[in-house]
Amino acid sequence: TSHQGGYSHDAVVHALKNCGIRHIDTAKRYGCESLLQKAIKESGVKREDLWITTKLWHSDYGYENTKKACLNSCERLGVEYLDLYLMHWPDTHVLGKSNREVRAETWRAMEELYEQGLCRSVGVSNFLISHLEQLKEDCEITPHVNQVEYHPFQRPQELVNYCRRREIVFEGYCPLAKGQALTHPSIIELARKYGRTPAQICIRWSIQNGIVTIPKSTNTERIQENCKVFDFTLAEDDVEILNGMHDGRHVSWDPSLVV
């Protein structure tokens, strides 16, 4: 799900009931946590069979605010715990405090939520190596996940390698580059070669690069299509073609804006 046309009740129910999808990624920012509660109930899928990720928006950063925000998200989702809770953004603006101080204070609350079992795992989103290094110095628990934009045009391999060295799971969003990848001639050519769609090529490439991949769609047919990526493998040479398409463009955020 996302905040820009990122929610469809029918699509979520279809994904859960008919496609075998069990990972739901949402955020307070997206404004659909309470809508998801209804869709999950309608799907009939048991809570314990789901992996629910939501995110803490930067306006809720700070020790006490973080704890309240987590409880509020749980209430809106209709759950007693979260499988994964992420700090949505490294940057925030709190009068009299640096971003680093606010991140550290917020993360201490995240650590306690984890230790209490309210969050089965905790992580961050859009964090660069510099942010993760600061957190390492300031806090006790290493983030379990770093969720970052990842697609053929944005492949931050240095960050991926850093996360792997520290056993931080790297999770990639926008695997289709918000549709920009679907019209690239090389991707269209690979889709023809494998008898697949451009979207399936991008998702399969991301998975083969060892990335936890979370495509978003509100279209039931495309959700079904996005799931059919486990019955074929891209040749190494073709993976390298896609790896070579990195040009540094962002379709979601610009890291130069955060400190």
Q: Where is the binding site for substrate, in residues?
A: 88
Determine contact, residues 102/63, Cβ cutoff 8 Å. no
Residue with tokens 């820009």: 4
Q: CA 8, CA 173: separation in Å to the nearest integer?
A: 18
Collapsed DSSP state (helix, strand, coil) of residue 25: strand
Q: CA 124, CA 168: separation in Å to the nearest integer?
A: 10
Catalytic residue chosen out of the listed positions 7, 30, 85, 114: 30
Residue with tokens 């809570």: 47
Question: Which amino acid type is present at position 112?
Answer: E
In the chain, which ranges are continuous DSSP H helix?
A: 9-18, 33-43, 63-77, 99-115, 129-138, 157-165, 185-194, 198-208, 220-227, 236-243
DSSP track, 82-128: BSEEEE--S----TTS-HHHHHHHHHHHHHHHHHTTSBS-EEEES--
Residue with tokens 């101080």: 101
30 flagged as catalytic: yes
Point out the residues that are catalytic. Answer: 30
